[in-house]
Structure 1
Amino acid sequence: MVEPVAVIVPNFNKAKTLRACLTAIAGQSYRPVEVVVVDDCSTDGSADIAREFDCRLVEMPVNGGPAAARNEGVRCTTAPLLFFVDSDTAPAPDAIANAVRLLGDDVGMVQGIYEPYPLFDDGPVEAYRVAFEHFWRRRAVGRETGALLAASLIRRSVFEEAGGLDERLRDGEDDEFGTRLPARYRLIATDRVLTRHDDEERLGPLLAEQFTRARTKPALMARTLLRQRDGARGARVAMMSPARFAHLDRSAQVTLAAALLVPVLPPALPLLCGVILLANHEFLRFAYRLRGVGFMLTASGIHLLAQGALVCGLIAGLPGAVRVLAR
């Protein structure tokens, strides 16, 4: 039986990529019955691009962030299956079809991964970011993982049972949502659902984004700790608690530990940087196979800076976690 699918595209100032995104959705082999673009008060003409396509355009009255936009998109649809697509991505032609095939009775959510090449190749910083996201998420295939809503299929009933996305969050809302997925359903990460992503092309903004996202994690983990303390059941609460680090592979654990030591042992910076690169040798080999030795060397430098920004963000987020626990 063919189950109807609604595609939900939250958008904020993605005029550069929205046309490619909606073109890719229109070219799906499994045709959605509804395509809803939720424009979150864009100022770059994105809404006009959406009007060129056979989709429903919903314009938010105020900028509420991606969680609010996705929730509004769900409210504006009726299909039993929801496929979330970010407006800076372009899903492969068989993305929806493959996701539907994997959505068995015991599966609550199927999430795709990024392809190793960007949607628009704007230089080495973006190439690194997209390559690392592909490598990292491909390694998560077949394992318990946090949620990624850039290319994910979920049953409406499961989305509603989980309570939708937390509109108070501007970052990390997908990770937090993943902790509330009912435990009786599996969350499948698959490399059969692929999408091309247009990521940040400048080093400064990329590091700032890494810092900002990491800064939200301690407070989210603190909230999850409180839920565990209060006896939360039926949710993947461990995926956003300190216990989550047990889910990381050895290279990620070594990277995080070495990066955390950099502020404490600054004279050992060269040694710690070497440890981080050694721990990530599989990614660096992947970068070499993908684009050659020049890209591998560039990726090494950017990766060290990105890990430093991540650690700084985690440290900066600790006061927020303390405030949550003190309530």
Structure 2
Amino acid sequence: MKQPLVSIIIPTYNSKNYLEEAVSSALRQSYQPIEIIVIDDGSTDQTRDLFPEFESKGVKCFTIENGGASNARNYGLEKASGEYIQFLDADDIIEPTKIEKQLHLMQKHQAGICYSPWIDFKTHPNDGHQTEFRFLHINHSLIRTGKELMISYGMDNWFIPTVSWLVSKTVIEKAGYWNPAKCPNDDGEYFSRVLFWTKKVVCCNENLAHYRLVAGDSLSKLNSTVKIEASFKSHKQVEALLTTCDDKRLMCYPKRHHYMSYKLIKKGYPKLAKRAARHFDAIKSDSFLSKKKHYWRLINWFGLYNGTKIYKLLLPIWNLSKR
């Protein structure tokens, strides 16, 4: 029986120092057939000097005008011929058995997507002193719908990085392309659509991906008004999508997004934090914060912004009373 082709799409921008590791991890895959597609998003660090060596190993390399990672991923999707897609950022690494093990589970259970736990690292994935293992207190053995996984995100407050996923082309065709607008939440918004349209999600409960923690400024940090506005817009897009579904439990998912934004920007951007708090309050659903009973009660009475202030004032008193 002929095995399906898997496309590994690697967008890169000024990541020459990391790109060889990412491409090497793709080339080492135990599964075949695969195609590897590298899209240079207008880099200025001589990334293209690596292309002759890559191409000699069968890697397809393209250079486009700078338009952001999501635009580069869309270009990769246009060039991809695979029935399954692995998105691999240029600074991340995948284990040699990732595609093989995830695809086996997807075929066994007729699932649209598969994810795995991952390892955070800074310099080298095998450097135990610099590698943080992320243990998720979630039952990964379950086979769930994409919407059920979104509820788990909202109620248990966890996430999955792009590198952990393997996605069928059938699901991608339903979810559509990545939003090309530069946004700190580009992967969150995209995989929200992927999960929304996925009937079955499986987990390969083994660390198969390595997510690099890069120091310095990053698009993912909410450290400017432009980034905050882009992130807020993406959260509202996800919220609008979920309101089309009858399952009201799903609304804990965008509610969590607004809370995380509020938490990240409340010191530097208080007005925009208040807006995030208002949108959190406007969503009438449960939340992972409900596990903090006193805090959750104050939030429901006074709203997230004022309830948080009151909670901080009362917390020392409650702690003293427990002694």
With the shorter chain as reference, the TM-score category is: 0.5 to 0.7
Q: Which residue of 2 aligns with 1:102?
A: 105
The structure 2 residue matched to 1:157, chosen from 145, 153, 170, is 170
Distance 2:256 2:139 in 1: 17
1:120 to 2:132 alignment:
no
User: How many angstroms does 1:7 deviate by?
Assistant: 0.8
User: How many angstroms does 1:115 deviate by?
Assistant: 1.3
Partner of 1:23: 24
C-alpha spacing 1:106/1:45, structure 2 compared with 1 (3 Å) = same
Residues 95 and 267 of structure 1: CA distance in aligned 2, closer, same or farther (over 3 Å):
closer
The one-letter amino acid paired with 1:28 is Q
Does 2:309 align with 1:264?
Answer: yes
**Which residue of the partner structure matches residue 278 of structure 2?**
none
One-letter amino acid of the structure 1 residue matched with residue 309 of structure 2: V
Q: Which region of structure 1 is more displaced relative to structure 2, 165-174 or 35-44?
A: 165-174
Q: What are the Cα deviations for residues 158-200 of structure 1, in whole angstroms up to 9, with x where unaligned?
A: 1011112111242212221223235452233444252223212
Residue pairs, 1:1-327, within 5 angstroms: 1=1, 2-53=3-54, 54=57, 55-61=59-65, 63-104=66-107, 106-120=110-124, 127=130, 131=132, 134-136=134-136, 139=138, 141=140, 142=142, 144=149, 145=153, 148-181=161-194, 182-192=196-206, 194-201=208-215, 205=217, 209=221, 211=223, 216-229=230-243, 231=244, 238=251, 240-242=253-255, 246=286, 248=288, 264=309, 268=313
Report SS of the residue matched to 1:150: helix
CA contact (8 A) 2:25 2:94 kept: yes
- State the percentage of identical aligned residues: 18
Which letter maps to 2:74? N
Give the letter aligned to residue 185 of structure 2.
G
**Greater Rg over alpha carbons, structure:** 2
Structure 2, unmatched stretches of 5+, are 143-147, 154-158, 260-285
Secondary structure in 1 matching 2:206: strand
SS in 2 for 1:48: helix
- Evaluate the alpha carbon distance shift between residue 38 and residue 207 of structure 1 in structure 2; reply closer, same or farther with a 3 A threshold: closer
- By how many angstroms is 1:91 displaced? 0.7
Displacement after TM superposition at 1:75 (Å)? 0.7
CA contact 1:39–1:59 (8 Å) conserved in 2: yes
Normalization by structure 1: what TM-score? 0.64
The separation in 2 between residues aligned to 1:14 and 1:152, in whole angstroms, is: 21
| 2:114 maps to amino acid | V
Asked if structure 2 preserves the Cα contact closer than 8 Å seen for 1:13 and 1:44, the reply is yes
Kindly tell me: are residues 239 and 158 of structure 1, through their superposed partners in 2, closer, same or farther at Cα, counting changes over 3 Å? farther
Instruction: For residue 24 of structure 1, report the CA deviation from its aligned partner.
Output: 1.2
Distance between the aligned counterparts of 2:135 and 2:229, measured in 1? 23
Q: Taking structure 1 as reference, are residues 131 and 34 closer, same or farther at Cα in structure 2, changes over 3 Å only? A: same
| TM-score, normalised by the number of residues in structure 2 | 0.65
Aligned partner letter, 1:21: A
Q: Please list every run of 5 or more consecutive structure 1 residues that lacks an aligned counterpart in the other structure.
A: 275-327
| Distance in 2, Cα, partners of 1:28 & 1:210 | 35
Contact 2:183 2:231 in 1 (8 A): no
Task: Write the distance in 2 (CA, Å) between the matches of 1:176 and 1:99.
Answer: 23
CA RMSD of aligned residues (A): 4.3
